[in-house]
Amino acid sequence: MVITGSSKGLGLALAEQFLETGDAVVVSSRDKSRCEAAAADLAARFPGATVRAFPADVSVSEQAEALADFAAAELSRIDIWVNNAGAVLSLCSRLDHQNCIACQHSLWPS
């Protein structure tokens, strides 16, 4: 799964919760060092878990796409995408929107 804006705050708390239940998580935020530090801390606290870091500004579509490419390659597939830092509507065709948390479903194509 991917959680945007997960180097701190609610996104980081969500990452912790999903790791506790066995999910593989890609941590992402704009600042590379904060993003990587958060992922390293989570990896240390959840031994054996799959935790990856990828810096991306989700307001820049190319960076959001690069995050999706990275996650798909690292995790084999993206089951869940949490738009904590903001919706990434350009990615909707690549995702099962029923698994997108915090999206306004009325904005998604049926």
Ligand X SMILES: NC(=O)c1ccc[n+]([C@@H]2O[C@H](COP(=O)([O-])OP(=O)(O)OC[C@H]3O[C@@H](n4cnc5c(N)ncnc54)[C@H](OP(=O)(O)O)[C@@H]3O)[C@@H](O)[C@H]2O)c1
CA angle 88, 68, 32 (to 5 degrees): 90
Residues 44-63 that bind ligand X (CB under 6 A): 57-59
Question: How many residues bind to ligand X according to rule CB under 6 A?
Answer: 18
Distance between CA 97 and CA 71 in Å, rounded? Answer: 16
**Binding residue for ligand X, selected from 39, 51, 82, 85, defined by CB under 6 A:** 85
Instruction: Using CB under 6 A, pick the residue from 1, 2, 3, 7 that binds ligand X.
Output: 7
Contact stretch for ligand X (CB under 6 A) within 6-14, 42-50, 72-80, 91-99? 6-14
3-class DSSP assignment, residue 72: helix
**For the chain, percent helix, then strand, then coil, each to nearest 5?**
50, 15, 40
Q: Is residue 16 at the binding interface for ligand X, with CB under 6 A as the rule? A: no
**What pairs with residue 2 in β-bridges?**
26, 81
Say how far apart CA 84 and CA 26 lie, in whole Å: 13
User: Which of 24, 30, 46, 65 forms a contact with ligand X (CB under 6 A)?
Assistant: 30
Between 39 and 47, name the residue whose CB sits nearer to ligand X.
39
Instruction: Report, in Å, the least distance between residue 80 CB and ligand X.
Output: 16
The smaller minimum CB distance to ligand X, of residues 8 and 77, is found at 8
